[in-house]
Amino acid sequence: MSSPARFPLTWGLILLSLLGYVAELICGGSWSDIPVSSLIACGGVYAPAVLEGGEWWRLLSGLFLHGGPEHLALNMISLYIVGRIVELYFPLLDYLILYFLSGIGGFLVSMTLHPETVIIGASGAIFGLFGALGGFMFFHRERFGASYRAFVREFGAILAINLIFDLLVPGIDLSAHITGLILGIIGGYLAGGRRSLFFLFTIVVSILMLAWAYHLSREYGVQGRISPVF
């Protein structure tokens, strides 16, 4: 296992997610069962609270909450695997931008499509890191040569497994994952060699996200059940 000192950002994000799960237990959950009420109390992304209550901070806190030990373990293993590689190739600032842009972008899309649900989890952000690595490797494909071709095979297999898992397991929001993946691919490609365009991309996407959030808050109306999505 790698030293936390070598990959401080990846380990820091893992630690925050573990602390988030502890907070869920304090909010009334049990180790194996986190009720929806606990997810809302601890900062899950819930449209009435965000759009009517103005609690936009939930778009950040929701990234560190998970629906159970299996959900937490799967995401943290994935983050441990891909996060360390991203941390090797990307500056820490770029890593942070890609992580939060992908995660929050996924939440906004999911909240648009599923306003009656509680949305949680780092999956969209982690898909963003996978996408960023793919975009980066594509930009440098000539430099990596055979390693790039091997990466494409492994990357494709991992994506296929995750997408099949998303389709087969109830309660998983494919839209957030795909949004994170797309933002990550574009951002990673630009960060691979066109840093000025990467920061322009960050600004443009951030403005579009703010505009869409404002639109949602103006047009918001919710009906139906409450259920967790991650």
Contact 91, 27 (CB under 8 A): no
Residue, of 140 and 167, whose pLDDT is higher: 140
The predicted structure's pLDDT at residue 194: 80
Structure tokens at 230: 């991650």
Q: What are the phi and psi torsion angles at 229 (to 5°)? A: -130, 140
Q: Which helix (H) or strand (E) holds 119?
A: strand 118-119
Name the average pLDDT for the chain. Answer: 88
- Residue 177 bears catalytic tag: yes
Q: What is the mean pLDDT of residues 19-44?
A: 89
Q: How many CA atoms lie within 13 A of 158 on its CB side?
A: 17
- The CA distance from 101 to 111, in Å, is 15
Q: Which residue in the list 38, 123, 175, 217 is annotated as catalytic?
A: 123
For 194-209, write each residue's pLDDT tens digit: 889 999 999 999 999 9
Where are the domains positioned within the chain?
8-229
Given a cut of 80, whether residue 176 has pLDDT beyond it is: yes
- Residue 71 bears catalytic tag: no
Given a cut of 70, whether residue 227 has pLDDT beyond it is: no
Query: In CATH, what class is 8-229?
Result: mainly alpha
Confidence of residue 222 (pLDDT cuts 50, 70, 90): very low
> Tokens 């691919």 sit at which residue?
185
Q: Which residue in the list 38, 177, 196, 215 is annotated as catalytic?
A: 177
Given a cut of 70, whether residue 226 has pLDDT beyond it is: no
For 106-139, write each residue's pLDDT tens digit: 999 999 998 888 999 999 999 999 999 999 988 8
